[in-house]
């Protein structure tokens, strides 16, 4: 990776969901390096403890199922007690679900994907936006996907959920234009993370074949974009979709 530019998040308090690995851990790393305090939320207690160890008192961990509004409320209270008002929210937690054609897609799997990948974004925004409004400052970055713009065959639930995240981002961004709370999302191509364990090899190969750059995005590359969107330097963009697709995105 080339030398990174400095992003100033000094003293900001960020909540990152799905923070124990993959995109979430890379985003945590970049934000801590930029001076932020990070509340790391994840459902996997063991992975969370291991991931947080290098950061010391710059992070606070919270085992949280973000599909459970009660657990979100408890995590918000704990995070506020640790680091004060939440000024940055990164909705990253997600799963891909199985690969199958829509007419054979398991109903239970569909519900799990929609609940975590889309509904949980709404739940977290609903819980945290009021304190951002009160402070008249906030940055929300939702992790969508190029699949939400184009649709991936054999991944209807994931594609639908990520399309929903894009729609939610646009709606919430417009609702908050009278404030200094900005809401954007990123639409990455796939990255080689543990989420690949949920996919068939044929699906992975199909995704790679669509990327003109001929490789998957690196988690650090996405983290750089998220850090800028979460900073004061991003002062005018809201309701936006920022592609990081290696040339795959066509609109």
pLDDT of 2 strictly over 60: no
pLDDT recorded at residue 204:
82
Residue 215's pLDDT band (cuts 50, 70, 90): confident
pLDDT recorded at residue 195:
67
pLDDT of 231 strictly over 80: yes
3-state secondary structure 134-147: HHCCEEEEEECCCH
pLDDT recorded at residue 171:
98
The CA-atom distances, in angstroms, between 14 and each of 60, 69, 132, 175 are: 10, 19, 12, 21
Average pLDDT over every residue of 4-16: 94
Residue 111's pLDDT band (cuts 50, 70, 90): very high
Beta bridge partners of 165: none
pLDDT recorded at residue 12:
98
pLDDT digits (tens, 9 = 90+) for 26-60: 999 999 999 999 999 999 999 999 999 999 999 99
Which of 174, 166, 27 shows the shortest CA–CA distance to 90? 27
3-state secondary structure 206-251: HHHHCCCCCCCECHHHHHHHHHHHCCCCCCCCCCEEEEECCCCCCC
Please indicate whether residue 158 is annotated as part of the active site. Answer: yes
Q: How deeply is 168 buried, as exposed, middle or buried, from its count of CB atoms within 10 A (0-12, 13-18, 19+)?
A: buried
Domains delineated in the chain: 13-244 (3.40.50.720)
Tokens representing 222?
A: 């996405």
pLDDT of 205 strictly over 90: no
pLDDT recorded at residue 250:
74
Query: What is the chain's mean pLDDT, rounded?
Result: 94
* Percent of the chain clearing pLDDT 70 (strictly above): 97
pLDDT digits (tens, 9 = 90+) for 12-24: 999 999 999 999 9
* Better-scored residue on pLDDT, 159 or 214: 159
Catalytic residue among 37, 105, 123, 158: 158
Task: Give the H/E segment covering residue 90.
Answer: strand 88-91
């Amino acid at each position: 990776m080339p030398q990174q530019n400095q992003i100033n998040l000094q003293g900001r308090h960020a909540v990152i969901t799905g923070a124990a690995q993959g995109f979430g851990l890379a985003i945590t790393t970049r934000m801590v390096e930029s001076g932020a305090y990070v509340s790391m939320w994840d459902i996997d207690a063991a992975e969370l403890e291991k991931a947080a160890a290098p950061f010391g008192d710059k992070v606070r961990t919270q085992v949280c199922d973000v599909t459970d509004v009660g657990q979100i409320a408890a995590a918000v209270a704990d995070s506020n007690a640790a680091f004060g008002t939440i000024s940055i929210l990164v909705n990253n937690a997600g799963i891909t679900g199985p690969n199958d054609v829509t007419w054979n897609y398991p109903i239970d799997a569909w519900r799990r994907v929609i609940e975590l990948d889309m509904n949980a974004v709404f739940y977290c925004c609903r819980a945290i936006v009021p304190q951002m409004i009160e402070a008249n400052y906030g940055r929300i970055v939702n992790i969508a996907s190029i699949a939400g713009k184009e649709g991936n065959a054999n991944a209807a639930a994931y594609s639908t959920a990520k399309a929903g995240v894009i729609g939610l981002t646009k709606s919430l961004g417009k609702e908050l234009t009278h404030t200094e709370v900005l809401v954007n999302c990123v639409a990455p191509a796939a990255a080689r993370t543990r989420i690949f364990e949920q996919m068939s090899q044929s699906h992975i190969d199909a995704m790679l074949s669509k990327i003109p750059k001929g490789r998957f995005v690196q988690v650090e590359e996405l983290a750089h974009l998220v850090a800028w969107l979460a900073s004061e330097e991003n002062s005018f963009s809201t309701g936006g979709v920022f592609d990081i697709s290696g040339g795959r995105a066509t609109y």
